[in-house]
Structures are given as C-alpha cells and as structure tokens.
DNA sequence: CGATCCACCATACAGATTGTCCAGCAAATC
DNA sequence: GATTTGCTGGACAATCTGTATGGTGGATCG
C-alpha cells in the first residue's frame, strides 16, 4: 500500500502549485490528462489525499499563541466524553489520546497569553479533566509538512 | 484584523467542498463572482489562507504510528542548528521551540513501533540533542481542524 | 453638504479547462 | 493465449476563468 513515483510527483507538484488544473499537471508531468485524472481519483479514493481544503492560519486570524496541553483525566470517565467536551471548544485544534494511560494531549490556540488562560480554564471545566499542564510554543522552526515523506518514494513497485 | 461573515462563509464552504470553483461559490453564497474572487484574493494576500495544497494522510502512506517527542537540547548549541538537523529527517513532521527553555517539541511519524525507535535514534543522533522523551498518540478523537475558529465570527465589523 | 473612495453587483467576451467518452497499445495476470 | 489494467492521444459540448466595463449604495472627509 504505497504510492509510486508518478503519484509522488503529482502530489509534490500540486503542493507547490495548488492552483494548477488537471490539464496543466498533465503537461508538467508529461503524461496524458486522463492519467493525472485517474491518479488523483485513486489517491483520493485510497485516502492518501484527504482533501483540498484551504489551509487557514490561526495566527492570521488573531490567534497568535499556540500551546500544547497535556490533560490528566479521571480514569473512570473514559476518553470519549472528555474528548467530546474538548471538541466543543473552538480553540482546541486537535486532541490525541496518548500511551501514558489516563492522559489526553491537545493543541490549542489563543489570542494572547491572557486569553490562553481563559482557554485552559475552559478545558479544566470539561467534566473528567483533573489537571492540565501546558507548554507554549514560542517558535516553529519546522512548520507542519508531509512532503518529505512523499518525496521519499524509492522504487517500491506498488501493488 | 479579523474576517467578516462573508469571508467565514466562504472559507467554510470551500473547506466542505474544496473542488468548487469561484463561480459555484458565488452562486452558493449568493454574491457576485467578482466579490468571491476579490475576497479570496484578499484572504490569500492577508495570509489567512496560506495555501490550497492537497492534504496528505501519513497513515495512508503506511506511517501508522504518530508520536510527540520532547527533546532536551544542549543550551549552548542553540535551537536553530538542532531544528535544522531535525528538518532533514522526513519523519519529523513539525518542530516547535517551547517556553521551557532548552526544549524542542516535535511531532513524528513512523511505519511501526519498531520503526519509531529508528526515527528516535535518528533524532538522538542530531548534534545538540541530549535526551528525548516520547509519547505515542494512540488515537485522535479530534483531528486537526480550524473551522470552529472561523465559524466563530460574531459581528466584528472589519476594518 | 458635496466630492470621493470603496465594495459590490451585473454583464460581457475570448480563451482555456473540465467532464466524459472512445479506440489503440503494451505489460502484467490468469 | 485470453483477459484485465493502465496509459495514450484525440475529440466533444458545456462550463469556467481571467479580465474588463459601467452602475449603485454606503461611508469617509474636507
């Protein structure tokens, strides 16, 4: 279940210039348009490409502070209800359960350091949350990326 | 520096159905095509929309294991060289410097738990890295999202 | 108050792109 | 050897894009 070189090149191309249409891609990749179309459909069907949504910068919306929060939760309450409660907080951008056991881990944003306190208070108010410990991200030397993984396609013959 | 309701509706629409063209958007939002075009341009220019790249699922590429790694680094070496070294590892998806001080925080993926060990070894080999502690993400009850922030646009009159 | 600026609407037109279908081929599969 | 799969190259109508125009109402400013 891997992707081949053409897939990788297509993904790379689209990542660098997302506005490209199928036709233009086919020209750049020197393959037939139908091929690009088929590959794209296949990548989406396989779940490799999960979407083409616009990428939004929370910072540009005024959410300048980003932090990672580890939650200790009450064991008996289980992960799900807590995760549900967290999902209702817009500033909570993602939530993961961790290997630790009774812990959840989440990424949050806030408009300022003071605002972060408000957000953390919201989190603490979620039933089942016992304690939180947060770490503020000051800088992001390597922003989220996946391309290196994609570019790293050797001669896996697929299928 | 906020966005108004129309911007928000446009972003929401595009997130839900990214393949929509400008024209179709204008129909759905009941505004003129030129307006949508102008809004989109403005959002991109302002940095609110940072791109339209395809979203890739590492899991679909065979990277089933995701983990968060906290790095303790040698103070004198500084953040940057270390971050640089980390950036060379494809499995390192993002790196943040944290409020702690001598710490870096990163998200990594791997093909398996055993493979994670390999990745961590790569990280430890980066000059300046003293120690690592990693937490494996078992599940992701709330996948990364930004829409709630966008949807949360009251009557901020912009400008 | 009148002039001006700005965002938006409505419309237009040429050129390009999309969705779709078809036939021919080559390599891999059974 | 027969079949399936993936790619090519071509073709079509319908649609969309880039770009431009003029007109309108609201807000700002001297």
Domains: count for chain B: 2
CB nearest to A49's CB, from B47, B55, B80: B55
What CATH number should be reported for the domain holding residue A83? 3.30.70.920
Q: Which residue is nearest to nucleotide C10 (CA to C1')?
A: B32
Q: Which of residues 14-43 of B touch strand C (CB under 7 A)?
A: 19, 30-35, 38-39
- The residue in chain A having the minimum alpha-carbon distance to the alpha carbon of residue B47 is A60
Domain that holds residue A42: 5-54
Spell B124-136 as b/e; 16+ CB within 10 A means b.
Answer: eebebbeebebbb
**E-assigned strand segments in A18-158:** 49-51, 55-56, 65-73, 92-98, 103-110, 129-142
Residue A107 falls within a domain, yes or no? yes
Residues B67 and B122 in one domain: yes
Q: Are the CB atoms for A3 and A150 separated by under 8 Å? A: yes
Higher pLDDT, A159 or A115: A115
B2–A contact, CB cutoff 8 A:
yes
Domain membership flag for residue A115: yes
**Average pLDDT value over all residues in chain A:** 91
Residue A42: the pLDDT is 92
pLDDT of res. A1? 60
In order along its 159 residues, chain B shows pLDDT tens digits of 678 899 999 999 999 888 899 999 999 999 999 999 999 999 999 999 998 889 999 999 999 999 999 999 998 777 789 999 999 999 999 999 998 767 899 999 999 999 999 999 999 999 999 999 999 999 999 999 999 999 886 544 444
pLDDT higher than 60, residue A159 = no
Tokens 């992707």, residue located: A3
Residue A104 lies in a domain: yes
pLDDT at A145 over 60: yes
Q: Do B75 and B50 share a structural domain?
A: no
Q: Looking at chain B from residue 4 to 43, which residues have their Cβ under 8 Å from any Cβ of chain A?
A: 11, 14-15, 18-19, 43
SS3 of residue B94 by DSSP: strand
What percent of chain A lies above the pLDDT cut of 70? Answer: 94
Task: Give whichever of A68-82, A140-154, B40-54, B110-124 has the largest mean pLDDT.
Answer: B110-124
Q: Which two tokens stand for residue B84?
A: 């640089």
pLDDT of residue A158: 42
Lowest mean pLDDT: which of A53-57, A149-153, B32-36, B40-44? A149-153
Provide the pLDDT for residue B156: 44
Statement to judge: residues B107 and B64 lie in one domain:
yes
Q: Beta partners for A135? A: A68
Q: How confident is the model at residue A157 (pLDDT cuts 50, 70, 90)?
A: very low
pTM: 0.89
């Amino acid at each position: 279940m891997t992707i081949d070189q053409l897939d990788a090149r297509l993904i790379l191309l689209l990542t660098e210039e997302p506005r490209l249409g199928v036709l233009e891609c086919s020209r750049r990749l020197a393959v037939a348009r139908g091929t690009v179309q088929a590959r794209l459909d296949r990548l989406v069907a396989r779940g490799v490409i999960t979407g083409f949504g616009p990428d939004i910068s929370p910072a540009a919306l005024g959410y300048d502070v980003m932090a990672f929060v580890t939650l200790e939760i009450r064991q008996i309450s289980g992960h799900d209800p807590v995760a549900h409660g967290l999902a209702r907080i817009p500033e909570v951008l993602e939530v993961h359960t961790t290997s630790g056991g009774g812990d959840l881990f989440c990424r949050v944003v806030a408009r300022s350091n003071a605002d972060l306190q408000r957000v953390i208070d919201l989190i603490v108010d979620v039933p089942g949350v016992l304690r939180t410990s947060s770490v503020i991200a000051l800088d992001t030397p390597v922003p989220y990326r996946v391309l290196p993984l994609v570019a790293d396609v050797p001669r896996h013959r697929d299928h």
